[in-house]
Amino acid sequence: MNFEFSEEQNMLREQAQGFLASNCSMAVVRRVLDGDEPYDADLWKKVAEMGWTATVIPEEYEGLGLSYLELSVIAEELGRALAPIPFSSSVYLATEAILAAGSEEQKQAYLPGLAAGTSIGCFALGESSGQTSAASLTTKADSSSITGVKIPVADGDIANFAIVVATSDKGDGASLYIVDLDQDGVSRESITTIDPSRSHAKLTLNAAGAQLLGNDGEGWSYVQSILNRAAVLFAWEQVGGCDTALNMAKEYAMGRFAFGRPIATYQAIKHKLANIYVKNTLARSNCYYGAWAISTDADELPIAAATARVSAIQAYYYASKENVQTHGGMGFTWEFDCQFPYRRSKLLATNIGSEATWQDKLITAIEKQRAA
Amino acid sequence: MDFNDTAVEATFREEVRTWLSANIPTSDELKGLDYIGRAKLWQKRKYDAGWACIRWPKEHGGRDASAIDQVIWNQEESNFDTPDSVFGIGHGMCAPTMMAWATDEQNKNYIPKLASGEDVWCQLFSEPAGGSDLAALRTRAEKDGDDWIINGQKIWTSGAHYSDYGVLVLRTDPTAPKHQGLTYFFIDMKSAGIEVKPIRQISGGANFNEVYFTDVRVSDAQRLGAVGQGWQVALTTLMNERASIGGGGGGVNFDSVFDLATRVNIDDAPAIKDKNVRAQLATWYAQESGLKFNGYRSMTALSRGEIPGPENSIGKLVGAPKQQDMASFALDLLESGGAIWDPELSDAAGMFQATYMASPGLRIAGGTDEIMANIIAERVLGLPQDIRVDKGIPFNEVPTSNS
């Protein structure tokens, strides 16, 4: 049994923690949340210089050719720091889409830029409120152009290109397209979300130039596989955030006195924090499973991904909301940092499909496994 | 990351599997024996072949095996249909305490008989006035020459009715503060003045007992640790509550409720098609999976010769309420049929009903949910202890519930 990160991976974790402690404090998150900059461009540059954006991209495309275990370590630390950068959009989604479905030419064209962080990708799936399916898509493409509205698109306002999911009359009813966002047929508006430390946009595509990514009519199947992989990495970000919320709550409870003693001595608070720890621990162990599945391309990936995703959503929501409550009234103020994990937990929970969506996917994957 | 054994572990696993395959008691061998007889037969067979209590030193009847070997043994044994053990408390809690605190002579006399299954031991800690607050126990021991005379009552003693020996903590100085007036002994359960009365549980079973002590005599030679050091010795026992790494729980689990949801209907379609059922099942699956992979992480630590992290401390706090909730959910899925508890008439021979009725006890035995949460808060998260109003006060001046 070797169900643990290696010594080298743990060293990478220490480096990442050290780097983020000095470059991505909560003050940085606050600055982006309060200010006009959509993301911390300086942090993004440094993260790219360290090669994090290149982690799993093969060396032939100027990546580092490392495994998803290394990327899991980085994801957890970025989640812990609540880093206000487009890492999930560019690395977990756009890079994965091109790796999964790209032609050799497309890989040559896009992966080196993604690896270097000079090009930012985003993933444009949803079109309105409610669950998106192949049948619900209205964005439509012909051989070279695409028309439709995508909202919300994480990092759509800052990305260089988008992976756009459009309807298709072939196969599974959907196809993927690469759309460069700096062109006349594209207009993008920044939109306000519950977590302004991560920027989002509405993309309006009006006969915009587009190139097919992968086979026409296999888009929905690509989406499932991209989301399964992204779910594991999102889940790592979520458990990193869970730890942050728990530590905030713990530190405050130890220092805050009421009725003559620290509130951390009251069982109502102790049990709240113990329950946070329990949920975080379950989620973390499921993330190990997800990391194993994604790094070995295991048949169980759909189950492992959904399991990690469901428990990470539940854990982060619980940790972040109870962290606010542990702080009492101060937790509700703009001045305190409790708002950041609370915002981020729900953003990450909705970004690539909700808890209910993934619960259903999990049972579907289990049914499939049993039928096989 | 991989789920594979190391080469040494794989060899050991193969050896275990080979021995088990050849030595599991047949139904003929077990015929006519009660559950204690069956348990003893299986334990003796393991002992004779050197497979009993493998973590223990060889001189005590063990095998000097490592922690990971024990996990492998448990996993392999659980794959076979073996008689239920009656030795969990004796092997898991009493023996480690004896080995830590008894004389060499005593260990030579008692421990091999525990390993071979000849003797069954129980643990007499809880009292009517000392449950979660174990150190508030009141059963008295008073010195009389080379003996002590015991008077009082223990409760929740598993297996007292078939045990040969027991370990117990007694109050030897009621004027000392709570933790300081205690002394630890082991005792022959057949001693004059011990009366065992089974407690009928809400599940209908009677696994626990009340044990009454009336002028029971125990030799001072059977004291473990110094007079007044009983709490420290008791902690040795409590620390040895068996880690359940790698073991799967019986009763209601994801699989059984999932299967039930394919057998019963909601709105004329299998319940498993219902979105609420799917959502609830997914949450339980994720919890079960989290516990399983916690276990794998602990096993990895053992395999590397390290001590497992605190992640395993959450098992009972997650597992016990989950069993209760799942059983309750299963009864709901059965609609009016959920009320039927009859091996002939109930779905799954009444397993869901049995778990529903047994699960409240799971949330209490070995530490209530609240105590488990305290342990996580204090030992894992490092939060301060509750303020204790009985601290430093002579025990006989501490307010009580006058039960």
User: In this predicted model, what pLDDT tens digit does every residue of B203-226 receive, in sequence order?
Assistant: 998 889 999 999 999 999 999 999
A291 and A366, same structural domain? yes
- Catalytic pick among B241, B306, B344, B378: B241
Structural domains of chain A, count: 3
Residue B241 has a pLDDT of 60
pLDDT tens for A156-172 read 999 999 999 999 999 99
Quick count: other Cβ atoms within 10 Å of Cβ A34? Answer: 11
CB A232, CB A289: distance < 8 Å: no
CATH of the domain at A157: 2.40.110.10
Same domain, A189 and A273: no
| Residue A165 within any structural domain of the chain | yes
Question: A316 with A355, same domain?
Answer: yes
Long-range contacts of B17-24 (CB under 8 A, 24+ apart): B17/B76, B19/B49, B19/B51, B20/B76, B20/B77, B20/B79, B20/B80, B21/B80, B23/B49, B24/B80, B24/B81, B24/B82
**Whose structure tokens read 């480096």?**
A15
Task: Evaluate whether residue B248 is within a structural domain.
Answer: no
Which residue from A2, A278, A284 is facing B318, i.e. has the nearest CB? A278
End-of-domain residue from the set A164, A185, A217: A217
Residue A37's domain comprises 7-116
User: In chain A, positions 45-104, which contact chain B (CB-CB < 8 Å)?
Assistant: 69
Let me know if residue B223 belongs to a domain: yes
> Are B232 and B312 in the same domain?
no
Instruction: Say whether B15 is catalytic.
Output: no
Residue A198 shares a structural domain with residue A307: no
Determine what percent of chain B is predicted with pLDDT higher than 70: 97
Domain boundary among A162, A189, A217: A217
| More confident of the two residues B301 and B104 | B104
Answer whether residue B162 is part of any domain: yes
Q: Could you tell me if residue B98 is inside a domain?
A: no
Q: Which residue has the higher pLDDT, A66 or B78?
A: A66
Count other C-beta atoms under 10 Å from residue A371's C-beta. Answer: 6
pLDDT in the model for residue B249: 54
Residue A29 has pLDDT above 90, yes or no: yes
| A2 part of a folded domain | no
Give the burial class of A111: count Cβ atoms within 10 A of its Cβ; 0-12 exposed, 13-18 middle, 19 or more buried: buried
A204 and A273 part of one domain: no
Domain count, chain B: 3
Q: Do A254 and B384 lie within an 8 Å CB cutoff?
A: yes
* Mean pLDDT estimate for chain A: 97
As a whole number, mean pLDDT of residues B129-145 equals 94
- Asked whether residue B60 is assigned to any structural domain, the reply reads yes
C-beta of residue B324 within 8 angstroms of C-beta of residue A315: no
Residues A71 and A180 in one domain: no
Judge contact between A305 and A294, C-beta under 8 A: yes
CB contact under 8 A, B383 and A273: yes
Tens digits of residue pLDDT in B244-269? 443 445 679 999 999 999 999 999 99
Q: Which of A265, A278, A307 sits opposite B317 (nearest CB)?
A: A278
| A5 part of contact set with chain B, CB < 8 Å | yes
- Reading the block at residue A284, the tokens are 């973390």
Residue-number span of the structural domain to which B180 is assigned: 121-239
**pLDDT for B303:** 86
Q: Which of B219, B231, B138 is nearest to B186 (CA)?
A: B219
Average pLDDT, chain B: 93
Classify A356 as helix, strand or coil.
helix
Contact with chain B for residue A359, Cβ under 8 A: yes
What CATH number is associated with residue B291?
A: 1.20.140.10
Contact A267 B373 (CB under 8 A): yes
Check whether B60 has a pLDDT greater than 90: yes
3-state secondary structure of A321: helix
- A152: preceding bond cis by omega (within 30 degrees): yes
Query: Is residue A1 domain-resident?
Result: no
A109 and A130 share a domain?
no
**Exposed e or buried b for every residue in A51-73, given b needs 16+ CB within 10 A?**
bbbbbbbeeebbbbebbbbbbbb
Comparing C-alpha atoms, which of A316, A253, A141, A337 is closest to residue B381?
A253
Clarify whether residues A204 and A165 are in a common domain: yes
Of A1, A254, A286, the CB nearest to B3: A1
Domain shared by A212 and A174, yes or no: yes
The verdict on A58 and A198 lying in the same domain is no
CA dist., res. B293 & res. B311, Å (int): 10
Per-residue pLDDT, B299? 87
B396, part of any domain:
no
In the structure encoding, which two tokens stand for residue A365, read together?
Answer: 């994957």
The predicted pLDDT at position B310 comes to 74
* B233 shares a domain with B268: no
Mean pLDDT of A29-40: 97
Which CATH number does the domain housing residue B200 bear? 2.40.110.10
Please judge whether B293 and A286 are an interchain contact, meaning their C-beta atoms are less than 8 angstroms apart.
yes
Q: Is residue A348 part of a domain?
A: yes
Q: In sequence order, which residues have a C-beta less than 8 Å from that of residue B1 and are 6 or more positions away? A: A2, A3, A4, A5, A69, A288, A291, A292, A295, A296
CB contacts under 8 A, A 171-200 vs B, are: none
- Paired strand residues for A176: A165, A213
A340: CATH = 1.20.140.10
